[in-house]
Amino acid sequence: MTIKEMATALRKGDLSTSEITRAFLQNIEKLEPTVGSYITVTEDNALAMAKKADRRLKEGDDPGLLAGIPAALKDNIATAGIRTTNASRMLEHFVPAYDAYAVTLLRGSGAVFLGKTNMDEFAMGDSSEASAFHATHNPYDTTRVPGGSSGGSAAAVAAGEAVYALGTDTGGSICQPAAYCGLVGMRPTYGLVSRRGVTAYASSFDQTGPMTRTVRDNAAVLDAIAVRDPKDGMAARFAPIPEGGYVGAIEDTFGNPVIGYVEEFSNGLNPAVRDAIERALQFYSSAGARVVPLSFPHLQEALAAYYLLTSAEGYSAINRYDGIHYGYRSADAETVDDIYIRSRSDALGLEVKSRVLLGSYLLSKENYDTYYEKAARIRTLVIQTFNTLFNACDAILAPVTIGPAPLLGARGDESLNGQYSSDRFTVLAPLAGLPALAFPCGLTEEGLPLGLQLIGPRFSEGRLYMLAATYEDAHERLPRPRIFHELRNGK
């Protein structure tokens, strides 16, 4: 069921929020040993929220479409009274005293929170294997990764362990797992959704966004969380929200949009992804769009700049976890220096350590001009390139990944360059602060999901939703993964 279908059933009295919530909790209980979407399942809290939502709806206090709809939250999004670990031993027992602003907004919308989802530690990774607790498995093939760093959120929605989930995106951490798990994932324009209460990785890149099974569900969640936060200094002051919200924008007339495709994107793609792009471009052309070729000549430089800049910002963010203020403290330390060194050595994983070391190197006096300054100039060049491209088109259709989800453990067999090169399509929008919407475009012969993304100018989320919904409405929805049906059939 979609969010709208579920909301209609709740208001007709055909279902209750408590019934729906118990059903999802049962799914979680049966599937978690196989999928591993969650770090913390908040059963008692979820049932209490469901009971409250039922009471509000019965009394005629209807807070909106998301009332009573069960959701999951990535574990770097603060939740008052519920531990928020960031998938790290450093924060294994950390319980925030307040909610992230997006969580506050969802509470006001009557949402029901099922728990906190697994992720790559401190959001530094792209497979959800770099968690201090366990790896998450792709529901479509449990020998494969769900993507990352929001892989737990993606797997939960794909497996039927939540109706929707919030993820965070620094350089593709919503769009990439959405593509691998057959979902719709929105990385909003930088500043559209508040960052307050979300653990920082790279603050000039980080954004929170929804992960859902349909475009309209995704728009409904963004409608709830795209509210300006006066306490977030980087919040957009005048974000042009479409009249009727993002759900309403989907019903806008398709017209004759101009959709661009960057020819360099085709290099090195899996044939199944290349075919999916060609079919999508043909579809949009037949629907009335004009498709234009574009060029983005510095893809590799953009990827390098992304990793240099985020590693530098990540180094600054991780410095606060020192074993003194809060978080894990080594019991073997005797001096202050020992506390710093042992606590961080014991509690931080290899991926985090490698990025912190790179960031420290980049920000040193000897290397700042050579690397960091050059990376910042490349970021400016990426922004200028997008500005030029959007003078020629309304949106850009792009791959999300070079192929379907890789096998668990495969990343460790690649060279360092190979490990990060698969992110070359998802780092572009974050470098420029632009919105990107990933949506499913079919399955491979092996039954693995494939995804595409639409990138637009700042605050063009409404148009991206309309374009993606037009594609979605004309194609069959991806089937649920096999394990979902096995669960329903009692296997």
Question: Is the pLDDT confidence value at 461 over 70?
Answer: yes
| Per-residue model confidence as pLDDT tens digits over 356-374 | 999 999 999 999 999 999 9
| Per-residue model confidence as pLDDT tens digits over 291-312 | 999 999 899 999 999 999 999 9
Whether 231 is a known active-site residue: answer no
- Determine how many CB atoms are found less than 10 A away from the CB of residue 330: 17
Residue 57, token pair as written in the block: 């709806």
- Determine how many CB atoms are found less than 10 A away from the CB of residue 8: 14
Q: Map out the domains of the chain as residue ranges.
A: 3-262+387-488
- Options 88, 149, 153, 194, the catalytic residue: 149
Q: 298 exposed, middle or buried (CB, 10 Å; 0-12, 13-18, 19+)?
A: middle
| Per-residue model confidence as pLDDT tens digits over 393-407 | 999 999 999 999 999
Question: Is the pLDDT confidence value at 417 over 60?
Answer: no
| Per-residue model confidence as pLDDT tens digits over 2-49 | 999 999 999 999 999 999 999 999 999 999 999 999 999 999 999 999
Instruction: Tell me if 151 sits within 8 A of 173, measured CB to CB.
Output: no
- Options 37, 109, 127, 173, the catalytic residue: 173
Question: Is the pLDDT confidence value at 415 over 80?
Answer: no
Residue 69 CA to residue 80 CA, distance in Å, equals: 19
Determine the pLDDT at residue 333: 86
Going by C-alpha positions, the residue among 132, 148, 122 that lies closest to residue 411 is 148
- Determine how many CB atoms are found less than 10 A away from the CB of residue 354: 13
What average pLDDT does the chain have? 96
Whether 173 is a known active-site residue: answer yes
| Mean pLDDT calculated for residue range 160-166 | 99
Residue 169 CA to residue 117 CA, distance in Å, equals: 14
Going by C-alpha positions, the residue among 151, 132, 134 that lies closest to residue 327 is 132
Question: Is the pLDDT confidence value at 414 over 60?
Answer: no
Instruction: Tell me if 172 sits within 8 A of 186, measured CB to CB.
Output: no
Determine the pLDDT at residue 402: 96
Whether 131 is a known active-site residue: answer no
Distance of CA 251 to the CA centre of its chain: 25
- Options 16, 37, 74, 194, the catalytic residue: 74
Q: What top-level class would CATH report for the domain 3-262+387-488?
A: alpha beta
- What confidence tier does 339 reach under pLDDT thresholds 50, 70, 90? very high
Determine the pLDDT at residue 480: 94
